[in-house]
Amino acid sequence: MALLEVENLSIGYHTQKGYLHAVEDVSFSLEEGKSLGFVGESGCGKTTLGMALMRLLPPNGVIREGRILFDGADLLQKSDEEMREIRWQKIAMIFQAAMNALNPVHRVHEQIAEAILTHNASLDKKEAFEQVEELTPSQLLGRIEKNFAILEEEAEEREKGFGQVEKVLRQKKDLFASTPNIFPVQGWITSRYGWRKDPFTGKREFHPAIDICAPWGTPVRAAAQGKVVYAGWKDAYGLMIRIRDGYGYYTVYGHLSKILVKQGSWVRKGQIIGRVGSTGRSTGPHLHFEVWHNGKTVNPLNLMVEPLG
């Protein structure tokens, strides 16, 4: 069983402008001896989640639903007195700029003793001060030195982990930009990918593309980022552009009336690269759009993430 389990936790704040959703339907678990990190932009709810786990939300904060199970017990069902016994001894939170929590007007050992008494009602003031006295400067330095190597190693591991996350996110972003999943032109499909009757010979043939009908001169956009490996006249294609998009993808744009990019240039996803026409072996203004992946044609419609308007 996990040491900490959070189930469908939703948290918000009552404000002058109404109720504000801060955390919605969050679930996770953490086993003893393991670490778990939350990454997100400022204001995404990381601090709110931490404060909720400690039952330290401000007065206007409210946990609408969910459960927080620590060592099998639901912390949301605990009284304030019971939570004081759990905090610091079994579960703790280190705030940002934690050193600022020390009041410069009072002695440090008095403030530490106050914390000990707050979380351990079985001790009296004398016993609390005795515990503080055990924390001499030399002992503290020894503990710091002992833990420093562990903390440094953990910090390095976390840095590697964040670096790996960043690398994966960059790769996914680049993969999306290199995947031809947006329509290069808006119009209507007049011929789909697959077997069809050839409009010139009447014979059955395989059509390795989709034909999108649009008015003459309509802008044609790159369906993915990549390098223009061909831009010019190509037999039945007429004026044609071929782009190497990466990750095994190539895209072909045929029957253009005008080419607006040069061979060897790099194009962005969505960049205008040409205009609809009817050059080559064509029956009317349309775009012949092919997608190749790992040396074979694929149905472009299987990749699209947007509707055809």
- Token representation of residue 248: 């095994």
Q: What is the pTM of this model?
A: 0.52
State the DSSP code for 87.
B
The secondary structure of the chain in percent helix, strand, coil, rounded to multiples of 5, reads 30, 35, 35
CA distance 55 to 78: 9
pLDDT digits (tens, 9 = 90+) for 147-197: 666 667 777 777 777 778 788 888 888 999 999 999 999 999 999 999 999
pLDDT digits (tens, 9 = 90+) for 64-82: 999 999 988 899 999 888 8
What is the overall mean pLDDT for the chain? 87
Provide the CATH number for the domain formed by 1-93 in this structure. Answer: 3.40.50.300
The answer to whether the Cα torsion of 233, 236, 241, 244 is positive or negative is: negative
pLDDT digits (tens, 9 = 90+) for 110-127: 877 887 787 777 888 888
The answer to whether the Cα torsion of 101, 107, 113, 117 is positive or negative is: negative
Burial (0-12, 13-18, 19+ Cβ within 10 Å), 51:
middle
Question: Where is average pLDDT lowest: 152-161, 210-219, 281-290?
Answer: 152-161
Domain boundaries, the chain: 1-93, 188-302
Helix (H, G, I), strand (E, B) or coil at 252: strand
The answer to whether the Cα torsion of 126, 132, 138, 139 is positive or negative is: positive
The CATH number, out of the four listed (3.40.1260.10, 1.10.3720.10, 3.60.15.10, 2.70.70.10), of the domain defined by the range 188-302: 2.70.70.10
DSSP secondary structure string for all residues of 20-64: EEEEEEEEEEE-TT--------TTSSHHHHHHHHTT---TTEEEE
